[in-house]
Structure 1
Amino acid sequence: MNILLAVAAIHAVVLVIPGPDVLLVSQTALARTRRAALLAGLGVVLGISVWAALALLGIGLLFGAFPWIHGVVKVAGGAYLLWMGVNLWRSSAGPDAQAAPVQAPLSDLAALRAGFLTNISNPKAAVFFGSVFSGVLGAQAGGSLKLAAFLLIVGLSAGWFALVATGMSAAPMQRAYLRARRVVDRVAGSLMLGFGTLLLASRE
């Protein structure tokens, strides 16, 4: 139980730290709909599930043995985040950036895909989960303990992103967004560009 509590505490801290995942779900909730934000959050959770499962299977060892695989994933992820940042800047520069109530509708599949790609494109997630499972669980952890940790991480992630999507899509939040839409989109775009640049520039 103490091990699972430690996993929960570490993951909770990582979840609440603003990053590309939180930024995407928040911006989708503000500019689109609650449904789109929830689906984007679900996509992020699916990405987290993949990285957590791969960490359990030893992807950290794979990255260590074949560094070029990590490099390819990192470049692809950085490029994707840069692309998202540019799109946010472009949407904020349109003539109707402040007049339109919300951005164009986002299909369920597009929202889910955006969340999944945002998370899965960051190989640092694999490094984090690898360190959590190897450092906290220990190399001798049994299958049942690893499964419990996996389910705990997925459950915490789902709860957190559902909370973000629901809270940020509330009517008062969307009205505030409409009053400062151009600024918010440019800040979000700049942060995405920054995340992408840091990912490309990182050496680990």
Structure 2
Amino acid sequence: MDLNILLAVAAIHAVVLVIPGPDVLLVSQTALARTRRAALLAGLGVVLGIACWAALALLGIGLLFQAFPWIHGVVKVAGGAYLLWMGVNLWRSSARPDAQAAPIQAPLSDLAALRAGFLTNISNPKAAVFFGSVFSGVLGAHAGTGLKLAAFLVIVGLSVGWFALVAAGMSTAPMQRAYLRARRAVDRVAGTLMLGFGGLLLASRE
């Protein structure tokens, strides 16, 4: 039944969403250090990236990566370099003499927040491989257009709900006060994780 297939897609995607990664880290750190609006826009940028990868997977980008591995390689290197850059920036921010006592960081423009979220997600070509495997393994090769569209909407809808929840939950006043008390340590941990994600992406063979 189509409903069972969509529930399977939803369950798989929900598990992947809640696993901490660069996307969740970016939205959480933005919510703590900036504003709820900036975090929501960063989350929206992530969702746009997810939507792009899911749509490309439906269009067969996985086959393109197989036929032209260098395209996958270029995207992977660019993505890894971007995550490394973000990690270095977080470390540099934490190293400033006023990092511990400084208030919440200066507001991030709407476009900058949206761009950060989009680039963080779109920088990982593994998302295309994941969605490709989900669509081929769960939907099957002969799924109709309606079922594919419904699966796409399920993925986007779950993503919107999850990142809105992360942005709202991490931008509360108690969470931001706790962040201010340990800002230097939090930024260094976040920077280290971003460096790790970038390094793993560059080192991966897939």
Give the Cα–Cα distance (whole angstroms) in 2 for the partners of residues 117 and 178 of structure 1. Answer: 27
Moved more, 30-39 or 97-106: 97-106
User: Following TM superposition, by how much is the alpha carbon of 1:203 offset from its aligned partner in structure 2, in angstroms?
Assistant: 0.2
Give the Cα–Cα distance (whole angstroms) in 1 for the partners of residues 5 and 115 of structure 2. Answer: 33
Per-residue CA shift, 1:129-178, capped at 9, x if unaligned?
A: 01111111000000000000000000000000000000000001001000
User: Following TM superposition, by how much is the alpha carbon of 1:5 offset from its aligned partner in structure 2, in angstroms?
Assistant: 0.3
**Counterpart secondary structure, 1:203:** coil
Give the Cα–Cα distance (whole angstroms) in 2 for the partners of residues 184 and 139 of structure 1. Answer: 45
User: Match for residue 26 of structure 1?
Assistant: 28
User: Match for residue 141 of structure 2?
Assistant: 139
Per-residue CA shift, 1:109-142, capped at 9, x if unaligned?
A: 0000000000000001111001111111000000
Give the Cα–Cα distance (whole angstroms) in 2 for the partners of residues 128 and 104 of structure 1. Answer: 36
Per-residue CA shift, 1:28-58, capped at 9, x if unaligned?
A: 0000000000000000000000000000000
Give the Cα–Cα distance (whole angstroms) in 1 for the partners of residues 50 and 179 of structure 2. Answer: 28
User: Following TM superposition, by how much is the alpha carbon of 1:199 offset from its aligned partner in structure 2, in angstroms?
Assistant: 0.2
Give the Cα–Cα distance (whole angstroms) in 2 for the partners of residues 27 and 19 of structure 1. Answer: 12
Moved more, 101-110 or 57-66: 101-110
Give the Cα–Cα distance (whole angstroms) in 2 for the partners of residues 93 and 85 of structure 1. Answer: 13
User: Following TM superposition, by how much is the alpha carbon of 1:103 offset from its aligned partner in structure 2, in angstroms?
Assistant: 1.2
**Counterpart secondary structure, 1:105:** coil
Give the Cα–Cα distance (whole angstroms) in 1 for the partners of residues 178 and 130 of structure 2. Answer: 35
User: Match for residue 64 of structure 2?
Assistant: 62
Give the Cα–Cα distance (whole angstroms) in 2 for the partners of residues 126 and 77 of structure 1. Answer: 13
User: Following TM superposition, by how much is the alpha carbon of 1:84 offset from its aligned partner in structure 2, in angstroms?
Assistant: 0.1
Question: What value does the CA root-mean-square deviation take over the aligned residues?
Answer: 0.4
User: Match for residue 176 of structure 2?
Assistant: 174
User: Following TM superposition, by how much is the alpha carbon of 1:196 offset from its aligned partner in structure 2, in angstroms?
Assistant: 0.1
User: Following TM superposition, by how much is the alpha carbon of 1:98 offset from its aligned partner in structure 2, in angstroms?
Assistant: 1.1
Give the Cα–Cα distance (whole angstroms) in 1 for the partners of residues 102 and 40 of structure 2. Answer: 22
User: Match for residue 185 of structure 1?
Assistant: 187
What's the TM-score, normalizing by structure 2? Answer: 0.99
User: Following TM superposition, by how much is the alpha carbon of 1:104 offset from its aligned partner in structure 2, in angstroms?
Assistant: 1.9
What's the TM-score, normalizing by structure 1? Answer: 0.99
**Counterpart secondary structure, 2:5:** helix
User: Following TM superposition, by how much is the alpha carbon of 1:99 offset from its aligned partner in structure 2, in angstroms?
Assistant: 1.1
Give the Cα–Cα distance (whole angstroms) in 2 for the partners of residues 164 and 52 of structure 1. Answer: 21
Give the Cα–Cα distance (whole angstroms) in 1 for the partners of residues 196 and 101 of structure 2. Answer: 27
User: Match for residue 8 of structure 2?
Assistant: 6
Per-residue CA shift, 1:73-116, capped at 9, x if unaligned?
A: 00000000000000000000001101111112210000000000
Give the Cα–Cα distance (whole angstroms) in 1 for the partners of residues 68 and 173 of structure 2. Answer: 48
Moved more, 114-123 or 102-111: 102-111
User: Match for residue 121 of structure 1?
Assistant: 123
* 5+ residue gaps, structure 1: none
* 5+ residue gaps, structure 2: none
**Greater than 4 Å deviation, 4+ residue runs:** none
